[in-house]
Amino acid sequence: MELTSSGLVYALAAAAVLALLATLWLWPRLARQRPLPVLGRVALLAAVQLSVLAVCGLTVNDTYGFYSSWHDLVHPGGSQLALGPTGSGSGTRGGPPQSDALVQPTTEGGLSTITDLPQGKPEEVGRVDSIRVVGKQSGLSDQMFIYLPPEYFNPKYSRERFPVLLTLAGYPGPALHLLSELHTPTTVWDLQRTGKMAPTIVVMARPTVAAPRDTECLDVPGGPQTETWFAKDVPAALRSAYRVSRSAESWGVLGYSTGGSCALRLALRDPAAYTTAAALHADYQVVSQPWESGDLFSGNPGLAQQYDLAWRLQNLPVPKASLLIVSTRTEDNFPATQQFLNATAPVTAAHPDLKIDSLFLPDGGHSFDTWRREFPAALEWLSDHLAPAPDREPRG
């Protein structure tokens, strides 16, 4: 049974009720002050408390997504893996899964709980898979989902490579929120079949690779190398397993909340990996929260400044990138968004290779209700700015 399944919560809730009833029934029979009755009362109290705590813990985890699978719970902080050479025939290309493959099929993540996926044959509506991606440089691994468009399965496009869009959830949400709350596969399929979005491979992931720590998608000194994971490991793994473009101009990243902040940082700090980003309700600086992220910069203010996006664009070489800032005029950080746009306006005027667009709704908060309204427009914008894959699969 999946860690995030509602069935597990109901089963433990039933166990808690049974433990309580057993306590009420057996307590009078264990009233004597002898060792065995005392141990019996202690055992009953422990069973009730542990089952109630388990239900509370699972409910909180389902809501906030600290751990998306039993693998996360047993191996907190991401898997540190020693890898051998990676073969080119991973299971995603049709061959048998390889233990050393960088992309491996998995049942993690809760894909079976999603009921509104595009229905039909893969060559008609595409396909959503749950995969585990392994990083060689960062030593991290994580579960994510991938949507392959119907053209991917069409023999007519058998030598074509496809653009890639990495979508990122917020903190501490799981990648599953991109399916259950934003309905990413269905939205992408609707846009693609109506001609509003080009055939694109969409990867759904979370920024919380080192769960439950919020690393803000950066390389923590002496800690998780999350920026390396997203900028180097994820593209390398996907290129080893799928027909995806090898050009950064065909790779984009979109996220909401913390995922949106990560999207902007990746496009501005790692343009060799992603040149296009759309951010829904993002932040433009990294502020360490001791209870969530710990010290991300080892007390180095100069390193923290490197992640101030406005400062970076004003003081460091300006990359070639296209950014979309999406928010609402009632969002708490709307003044910070205006400040960022005002500060970077002279930079974009002087550097035509950097383009920053913005889209603001008149109202809405930091919630899925608002992000669902903004999501289709952001996807269309990204598709307009992602370059078609310039390369093809070799014959043979």
Read out DSSP for 291-354?
TTT--SSTT-HHHHHHT-HHHHHHHSPPP-EEEEEEEETTSTTHHHHHHHHHHHHHHHHH-TTE
Q: What angle do CA 124, 200, 206 make, to 5 degrees?
A: 110
pLDDT number for residue 3: 60
Please say if the pLDDT value at position 65 is more than 60.
no
| 164 closest CA partner among 70, 86, 235, 258 | 235
- To which H or E segment does residue 136 belong? none
Query: Per-residue b/e over 174-189, b at no fewer than 16 CB within 10 Å?
Result: bbbbbbbbbbbbbbbb
pTM of the model: 0.79
Do 223 and 297 meet the contact criterion of CB atoms below 8 Å apart? Answer: no
Neighbour count for residue 112 (Cβ, 10 Å): 10
Q: Where are the domains of the chain?
A: 6-64, 96-385
pLDDT band at 48 (very low <50, low <70, confident <90, very high): confident
Helices (H), the chain: 6-26, 35-64, 70-74, 122-125, 177-180, 184-193, 226-228, 234-241, 258-269, 301-306, 309-315, 334-350, 368-385
**Cβ contacts of 349 within 8 Å, gap of 6 or more:** none
Mean pLDDT, residues 209-217:
90
Higher pLDDT, 215 or 51: 215
Please list, residue by residue across 60-90, b when 16 or more beta carbons sit within 10 angstroms of its beta carbon and e when fewer do: ebbebbbbbbebbeeeeebbeeeeeebeeeb
Q: Does domain 96-385 have CATH number 3.30.450.20?
A: no
- 202 — phi, psi (to 5°)? -115, 125
Helix, strand, or coil (residue 361): strand
Residue 94, Cβ neighbours under 10 Å: how many?
7
Task: Write the single-letter amino acid at 79.
Answer: S
pLDDT at residue number 229: 98
Q: How confident is the model at residue 87, as a pLDDT?
A: 34
Per-residue model confidence as pLDDT tens digits over 84-120: 233 333 444 444 445 679 999 999 999 999 999 999 9
Residue 158, Cα to own-chain centre: how many angstroms?
Answer: 28
Q: Is the pLDDT of residue 29 over 60?
A: yes
> Picking from 24-33, 87-96, 350-359, which range would have the lowest pLDDT averaged per residue?
87-96
Tokens coding 368 = 């899925």
Whole-number mean pLDDT of the chain? 87
- Model confidence pLDDT, tens digit, residues 221-230: 999 999 999 9
Work out the average pLDDT over 352-359. 97
Kindly report, residue by residue over 123-147, the tens digit of the pLDDT: 999 999 999 999 999 999 999 999 9
